[in-house]
Structure 1
Amino acid sequence: MTVDMNEFWVFGYGSLMWNPGFEYEERQPAHLFGFRRSLCVRSWVHRGTEEKPGLVLGLDRGGSCRGVAFRVAPQARDAVVDYLRERELVTHVYKERTLPATLGDGRRVSTLTYICDRAHHQFAGSLSVDEAARTISTAVGKSGHNMDYVRNTLSHLREMGIRDHWLEDVGRTAEGLYARISA
């Protein structure tokens, strides 16, 4: 089943799932192939600073990713794109792409999404659970504590029935470190 190519959809796999920041007409579970959710981006603005970076999710090549697609009204398209570019392209660690996704109801749609730029100096690559947890447990940026970002993302993934074992391990380990630091 396909959808009118004139429809405008945005794919969210991290904070966009629980904090899109824009009006939408429809929200659907979605599955994107060829890219996977990865805690691979050093955050210098929203969840850390340049001196003490946090970690946020990116879409990295390989595998697939379950997330959320938002259908945006045609008259809101330009404003939403402007908003997303301001939010996601702050340091240009992401590349804007239009990629196909399959919605929960079986429709295939074209989605605007942001993938990580592996050549960018903020690309963290594959980290161990301990490395990621140490970073997350202490980093804070203009959008708040990195720990809150991971908590919110894991909570939303659980609500959607999505398991991300590596991210869950990072979250548990970071919670333990955060509790010791905060005590």
Structure 2
Amino acid sequence: MSKTRSGKTRLPGSLHLTSDLVAKTLRVVEEEGPEPNWTPISRDQLDQLVRRVEEEAGDEEIWVFAYGSLMWNPGFEVAASVDAVAFGWHRAFSLRIERLRATSDAPGLMLALQPGGSCSGLILKLPCATKKEDLRTLLAREIRYAEVCDMVRWVAVKTPMGTRRALTFWASPKQSLLTDKVPLDEAAQLIAQACGPAGSCAEYLHWTVLDLAERRIFDRNLWTLQKLVAERLQALPSRIDPR
């Protein structure tokens, strides 16, 4: 890894996990209901979570630290976006799933923040005019089950404007069976196999690494992971178009 004259990070070679390889993982998968052994968050619980975050924010603007899919698919109209680094945290495929982009027969992994290291990403500002509605939509998307309401928290991030406080979603140690650290080889196998109604885990990884590459952000673990997933997918036969 090196710097260009403009100060941007030069990435170490091209991506191995291509769109053609990702296509091997995509298939039609029917909805299976909620994650096994988890309780879907109720309307009242979601309202309580929204009120909690609003009370913690006070009169301040709400910024959200994006390190994965929120970077390329925020799901709300972003009022402002600023480069940011969260020190003391790193992104990792450590959130075990059996729904959305996986099934019980072929479980997968999604990104979460884990303690330690540093994580480069963005902070996204919620529009003032629709802040409450957008906050509720965001929390409903990221916190789907009552048992994981503690997986939303505030972190301090460094930006060109100085240190700011931002809301983010993390791997709480209270849910250790859900968020244990996963070795890269095991993570690659889970990601390569998993697909659900929302798409595949390989697709999610592809879009995330591609977005990071376009922003000249180098994440060593994700760069290694996309190569390992690509190697597994290269060994699979291409899917035949039924048309």
Q: Scaled by the length of structure 1, what TM-score is found? A: 0.89
CA–CA distance in 1 between the matches of 2:217 and 2:153?
24
CA–CA distance in 1 between the matches of 2:104 and 2:174?
17
* Deviation per residue, 1:14-49 (Å, 9 max, x gap): 111111111111111111122111111112223212
Q: Work out whether 1:38 is the aligned partner of 2:87.
A: no
- Which of 17, 39, 53 aligns to 2:107? It is 53
CA–CA distance in 2 between the matches of 1:80 and 1:65?
24
1:51: Cα distance to partner?
Answer: 3.5
Q: Which residue of 2 aligns with 1:11?
A: 65
Q: Work out whether 1:171 is the aligned partner of 2:192.
A: no
Instruction: Indicate the SS of the match to 2:91.
Output: strand
CA–CA distance in 1 between the matches of 2:140 and 2:104?
18
Q: Which residue of 1 aligns with 2:79?
A: 25
Instruction: Indicate the SS of the match to 1:16.
Output: helix
User: Which protein has the bigger strand share?
Assistant: 1
Q: Work out whether 1:138 is the aligned partner of 2:197.
A: no
Whose radius of gyration is greater, 1 or 2? Answer: 2
* Deviation per residue, 1:70-100 (Å, 9 max, x gap): 1112222211221121111113556111222
Instruction: Indicate the SS of the match to 1:69.
Output: strand
Q: Which residue of 2 aligns with 1:153?
A: 208
- Which of 126, 129, 132 aligns to 1:75? It is 129
CA–CA distance in 2 between the matches of 1:154 and 1:61?
20
Q: Which runs of 5+ in 1 are unaligned?
A: none
1:131 partner amino acid = E
Sequence identity, in percent?
31
1:65: Cα distance to partner?
Answer: 0.9
1:13: Cα distance to partner?
Answer: 0.6
Q: Which runs of 5+ in 2 are unaligned?
A: 1-58, 239-243
Q: Work out whether 1:96 is the aligned partner of 2:152.
A: yes
Q: Is the 8 A contact 2:202 2:229 kept in 1?
A: yes
Runs (4 or more) in structure 1 with deviation over 6 Å come to none
Q: Work out whether 1:122 is the aligned partner of 2:170.
A: no
Aligned length: 178
* Deviation per residue, 1:40-62 (Å, 9 max, x gap): 11122232123322111110111
CA–CA distance in 2 between the matches of 1:182 and 1:82?
42
The two structures, once aligned, show a CA RMSD in angstroms of: 1.9
2:190 partner amino acid = T
1:153: Cα distance to partner?
Answer: 0.7
Q: Which residue of 2 aligns with 1:162?
A: 217
